[in-house]
Amino acid sequence: MISASDLKAGMTFVQDGKLIKVIDASHHKPGKGNTVMRMKLRDVRSGATYDTTFRPEEKFEKAHIDTNTVQYLYTMDDTAFFMDLGTYDQYEIPVNTVENEMKYILENMEVKIQFFGDEVIGIQLPTTVVLTVAETQPSIKGATVTGSGKPATMETGLVVNVPDFVEAGEALEINTTEGTYVKRASK
């Protein structure tokens, strides 16, 4: 069991038979009354997100999540296909349940699949990935890193704000937790 005050972003727990993932959690102390935990949660199976509050002392069953390293193969219709590199087992995940994560994944990339028992529930991405800029505005001569930046569409369709000097075709390192530009990728 885990109390609401110990829940943090990325943790998964069971509530009323539903598997719930914490997207964001914060303590909130209103002017009057007791402290509450404000949470943004996602139902892992349905993909629905919602905001709620809990008393800090409320208890939940922590979900035991296992991970397995797999290789992303391809997407067909609305299903993404992955293969276990050790056993060659293939896993099918509905794209709508991992829509955000798919913006960071290229074919043949290794990621970790998360399991709750035998059920595949999601994808665990590396902290950063290298993606190529597919489209952006032309670079501005003399632009520096301190500029306000410009939007760039990556090869996966992800849109990231990048410095003005970045051009189409460049490989960039992208932070997967925040969806932000980190640096140019080393060649």
* CATH class for the region spanning 2-62: mainly beta
Q: Does domain 66-124 have CATH number 2.40.50.140?
A: yes
The pLDDT of residue 142 is 56
Q: pLDDT value at position 43? A: 83
Question: What pLDDT, on the 0 to 100 scale, is given for residue 146?
Answer: 57
| Closest to 23 measured CA to CA, from 1, 50, 5 | 50
- Size of the chain, expressed as the number of residues it contains: 187
Give the pLDDT confidence score for residue 6 in this predicted structure: 80
**CA-to-CA distance for 133 and 156, rounded, in angstroms?**
9
2 CB burial (10 A radius; 0-12, 13-18, 19+): middle
**Predicted TM-score (pTM) of this structure:** 0.69
Residue-level pLDDT at 139: 64
**What is the pLDDT, as a whole number, of residue 129?**
85
d(CA 22, CA 145): 34
Please name which of 142, 100, 96, 144 lies closest in space to residue 125, comparing C-alpha atoms: 100
Residue 132 neighbours by CB under 8 Å, 6+ apart? 154, 155, 169, 170, 171, 172
- The domain spans of the chain are 2-62, 66-124, 128-184
Name the fold adopted by 128-184. Answer: OB fold (Dihydrolipoamide Acetyltransferase, E2P) (2.40.50)
Q: How far apart are CA 23 and CA 40, in angstroms?
A: 5
What pLDDT score does 140 carry? 62
CB-CB neighbours of 132 under 10 Å: 14
Q: Do domains 2-62 and 128-184 have the same CATH topology?
A: no
Let me know: does 56 contact 3? Beta carbons within 8 Å: yes
Q: Give the residues of the chain that fall short of pLDDT 50.
A: none
